Structure 1
Amino acid sequence: MRFPDGFLWGAATAAYQIEGAVAEDGRGPSIWDTFSHTPGAVRRGDTGDIACDHYHRWRDDLDLLAGLGVGAYRFSVAWPRVFPSGAGAVNPAGLDFYDRLADGLLERGITPMVTLYHWDLPQALQDRGGWANRDTAEHFADYAATVHERLGDRIPYWLTLNEPYCAAVVGHLEGRHAPGLRDERVAVTAVHHLLLAHGRAVAALRAGGVRGQVGITCNLTSVHPATADPADLAAARRLDLHENRMYLDPLFRGAYPDDAAAHYAPVTDFGFVHDGDLEAIAAPLDFFGINYYERHHARADPADPDRGWLRVPPEHPTVTGIGVHPEGLTEILRRVAKEYTPLPLVVTETGLALHDYPGPDGEIADDERIAFFDGHIRAAHEALDGGVPLFGFFPWSFVDNFEWASGYGVRYGIYYVDYPTQSRRPKRSAHWYAGVIRDNGLVSDPLRPHPS
């Protein structure tokens, strides 16, 4: 099962999850610094204060990436390293770090893919309302322009935002992520201001003469009704609105979905949408990134038949409670390409959380992860065979790291991190993935190692 020549095999991380050094070289606090230090917010009280110490060990980490053979590395820039207060004075030392990182990647023949926002909003902006404050979108545009001014000559791929759904909904409605709010009105407002920030950043990058391609990454789910009952069909449509269409429609159709106003009427009248906002949000892009983790079957919620839904629990949940459904990735790729955009698509994240550990022989045998990636790569290939313009695949994640509210309690990496010593060791999945990259495709048996 071969992929087209030039297909981009990568790996992905995010700044707060790996960098550590949260108070070094002028970096300001982010909402995740505040949230992770809030008692009870993160499993076992874990924080990203040290994480993988990538800020100091980046050269060794880039060597691991080069040894893996990836063609690209997706990393995020920490907004509070560049603007410690979110706006105002620039911190040159923060830009210097990403300067070195970009140069180090290029020296090793690895293409940099930059995510400008992977959830680490400067705390100073949160203190002024955060994503509920329209001004935050304007500050983000200034930040994007500043990063581009320094790195624009070396970055072929720019992603404005990572997963606006999680930033808005998980952080402002469910309270499980920073800033830890539980207010639906604020969450819907945050959705709009995040998308507006994306639009403003695209405009800033274009105005700065960006040479690289510009896109955004959304986490999308494949939603199905649990039964053919009209109540379940309606619940599935509401869930699809909540998780998918609230982002896809503004980005590619320049409008919120037709059913959004009625659904959210109990909490907002969408008065935060100003003239010109939707045109800005729908600015032309060069590519679109998709993060995929979940396929949902929705059924009606008897407690809330008008606005609610219930997700049918998976039969075989992972340690994070979700099911493994590679076919959902094919469904999403086909849907986006058919219904929303002819743009080139890239899988910017998919991955499996496990409780990995070294065995008596020292090997870290994460065969479940190999099977997971094998299935999802096959699903991506099926979509590509069907005409979907897919150009890359980035497993989550390169190394074990701070997994947000799960802290260090689960591991997604293909490299094992021993946190007390900060040593890195390849898991069996790393050796397997290196073979996939070398072969530009898959062998018949996902658990048979590729030849070295």
Structure 2
Amino acid sequence: MSDPLPRSAFPEDFLFGAATSSYQIEGHGFGGAGPTHWDSFAATPGNVVRQEDGRVACDHYHRFPGDLGLAAGMGLDAYRFSTSWARILPEGRGTPNPEGLDFYDRLIDCMLENGLKPAVTLYHWELPSALADLGGWRNRDIAAWFGDFAQLVARRYGDRLWSAAPVNEPWCVSWLSHFEGAQAPGLRDIRATARAMHHVLLAHGTAINAMRAEGMGNLGAVCNFEDSIPASDAPADHLAAERQAAIYNRFFLSGLFRGAYPERVMEGLGPHLPAGWQDDFAVIRTPIDWIGANFYTCNRAQWAEGAWPNIRLVEGPLEKTAMGWEIRPESLGAMLRLVTEYCPGLPVYVTENGMAGHDVPAGGEVPDPQRIAYLRDHLAVAARAIADGIPLKGYFLWSLLDNYEWSLGYEKRFGLVHVDFDTLARTPKHSYHAVKAFLRGSDL
């Protein structure tokens, strides 16, 4: 048992929030939303547990007032949500969907009525099918399409948004989805991967410029990070960990802040990047106001003979979550230090942190002691980072609600609020009540 953590460990103006994403909670079958590549990925046998999809999800589309009431009732300062590109623009371009536009008006207004700062992410993985048909993230034109979408969002909602980030977790959008094939569009193609990794950064910079041109401020980037640890002391395993870190962490930071890509990545992806890619860094490096770090776990890298990247990830020795992910809070500190190495002085936010648990309702309650310990230990690391001089300004829990966990369907539960996916009833877990008490002054 770690030491109790008081709210006073953080500055008074430190921001606490919760994060969600559109496709995972809204219910994509409502309100005139267009089809996405996640719908077709989920409809393909073998891609998603039980072929589950996001058509209903948590029905947040209809139930958002109660959900935002839960967020406000916990004592949170901010709410991180995402817009669905296909809900606003069913074809990805052209005529907007009035129902979609009106939904986000109501959603943002409800946040403000509940005293929650609206923190929007424009894209959390659900690409309109019409754009996927044109090559999606492999097609350079996606940067311009995304810039137009960003402009539309900025014009409609910008005066009410506290912050905005273009893309959630570019590694997942590109590598996980185009090299490993684990998420939509489910490709395993090194050329597609190289182009997607570059184009997602180009789209980021294009969107930042579009939103800035509409007068918006407090614009940032949200990347996911995993601390890569060699599986042994063998030099080959150290090389594998270095390459894993370069692909997962440093590629995007280096592009955003240094205008270059790491040599350990270029060894494999360099020949497959699009012509003239070096000329895009002027856009990619468009200044931002903050950097967001999504963090859950570490990985253990082992050298694998054969083709590049020669990496095999192996199981580590520490306690695991329901995802099988190791719980290693000190790795959060390592990743915060990595971020500040690339952008010293820039405000940093932990934009996602949390865990999937084996959460079973009992007698009208949902005990989740492992999650409470996880949050306490990671928040303690965040507090130490602030004491060590890292400009950490806020922390967002993932997630407010149990939700659609992509290729894992509804099986993995990350929420502080339990959702019964048969009745859609919400039940705050013990972790919800623990965080609520913490934000009111009790120790966590």
Give the TM interval when normalised to the shorter protein.
over 0.9
Cα deviation per residue 1:167-199 (whole Å; 9 max; x = unaligned)?
A: 111111111111111112101210111111000
Contact 1:261–1:270, Cα closer than 8 Å, also in 2:
no
Picking from 278, 284, 287, the partner of 1:284 is 287
Is residue 65 from structure 1 mapped to residue 68 from structure 2 by the alignment?
no
Is residue 133 from structure 1 mapped to residue 123 from structure 2 by the alignment?
no
CA distance in 2, matches of 1:109, 1:319: 33
Q: Secondary structure at the match of 1:260?
A: helix
2:407 equivalent in structure 1: 405
1:200 equivalent in structure 2: 206
Is residue 229 from structure 1 mapped to residue 234 from structure 2 by the alignment?
yes
Is residue 12 from structure 1 mapped to residue 14 from structure 2 by the alignment?
no
The Cα shift of 1:276 comes to: 3.4
The Cα shift of 1:308 comes to: 0.7
CA distance in 1, matches of 2:201, 2:214: 20
1:46 equivalent in structure 2: 52
Picking from 416, 435, 438, the partner of 1:436 is 438
The structure-2 alpha-carbon separation of the partners of 1:195 and 1:434, relative to structure 1 and needing over 3 Å to count, comes to same
Cα deviation per residue 1:108-147 (whole Å; 9 max; x = unaligned)?
A: 1110000000001101100010000111111000000001
**Identical residues among aligned pairs (%):** 45
The Cα shift of 1:226 comes to: 3.1
CA distance in 1, matches of 2:415, 2:237: 37
Q: Unaligned 5+ residue runs, structure 1?
A: 447-452
Contact 1:113–1:155, Cα closer than 8 Å, also in 2:
yes
AA aligned opposite 2:86:
P
Contact 1:261–1:269, Cα closer than 8 Å, also in 2:
no
Contact 1:111–1:156, Cα closer than 8 Å, also in 2:
yes
Deviates more, 1:216-225 or 1:371-380: 216-225
Picking from 364, 367, 371, the partner of 1:365 is 367
Contact 1:192–1:273, Cα closer than 8 Å, also in 2:
no
CA distance in 1, matches of 2:264, 2:305: 21
The Cα shift of 1:234 comes to: 1.5
Picking from 277, 302, 312, the partner of 1:310 is 312
Paired positions, count: 436
CA distance in 1, matches of 2:54, 2:78: 25
Q: Secondary structure at the match of 1:416?
A: strand
The Cα shift of 1:312 comes to: 3.1
The Cα shift of 1:273 comes to: 4.1
| TM score, norm. by length of structure 2 | 0.95
Q: Secondary structure at the match of 2:309?
A: coil
Cα deviation per residue 1:401-439 (whole Å; 9 max; x = unaligned)?
A: 000011011101000111121111100000001122222
1:368-447 alignment, distance < 5 Å: 368-439=370-441, 443=443, 446=444
CA distance in 2, matches of 1:132, 1:204: 21
CA distance in 2, matches of 1:354, 1:24: 29
The structure-2 alpha-carbon separation of the partners of 1:118 and 1:272, relative to structure 1 and needing over 3 Å to count, comes to farther
Q: Secondary structure at the match of 2:355?
A: coil
The Cα shift of 1:311 comes to: 2.2
2:259 equivalent in structure 1: 254
The Cα shift of 1:66 comes to: 1.4
Picking from 326, 330, 353, the partner of 1:327 is 330
1:168 equivalent in structure 2: 174
The Cα shift of 1:237 comes to: 1.3
CA distance in 1, matches of 2:51, 2:237: 39
AA aligned opposite 2:18:
A
CA distance in 1, matches of 2:138, 2:292: 25
Is residue 77 from structure 1 mapped to residue 79 from structure 2 by the alignment?
no
CA distance in 1, matches of 2:169, 2:248: 10
CA distance in 1, matches of 2:430, 2:257: 40
Cα deviation per residue 1:277-301 (whole Å; 9 max; x = unaligned)?
A: 1111111100001000121232222
The Cα shift of 1:155 comes to: 0.5
The structure-2 alpha-carbon separation of the partners of 1:55 and 1:272, relative to structure 1 and needing over 3 Å to count, comes to farther
The structure-2 alpha-carbon separation of the partners of 1:386 and 1:258, relative to structure 1 and needing over 3 Å to count, comes to same
The Cα shift of 1:206 comes to: 1.1
The Cα shift of 1:75 comes to: 0.4
Q: Secondary structure at the match of 2:427?
A: strand
Q: Secondary structure at the match of 2:440?
A: helix
The structure-2 alpha-carbon separation of the partners of 1:302 and 1:46, relative to structure 1 and needing over 3 Å to count, comes to same
Deviates more, 1:330-339 or 1:157-166: 330-339
CA distance in 2, matches of 1:408, 1:206: 37
Q: Secondary structure at the match of 1:216?
A: strand
What is the root-mean-square deviation of aligned Cα atoms in Å? 1.5
Contact 2:90–2:96, Cα closer than 8 Å, also in 1:
yes
Contact 2:195–2:274, Cα closer than 8 Å, also in 1:
no
2:62 equivalent in structure 1: 56
CA distance in 2, matches of 1:275, 1:225: 31
| TM score, norm. by length of structure 1 | 0.93
1:293 equivalent in structure 2: 296
1:450 equivalent in structure 2: none
CA distance in 2, matches of 1:273, 1:218: 24
AA aligned opposite 1:282:
R
CA distance in 2, matches of 1:341, 1:83: 37
CA distance in 1, matches of 2:411, 2:245: 30
Cα deviation per residue 1:369-401 (whole Å; 9 max; x = unaligned)?
A: 001111110111111111000011111100000
Is residue 118 from structure 1 mapped to residue 127 from structure 2 by the alignment?
no
Q: Secondary structure at the match of 2:159?
A: coil
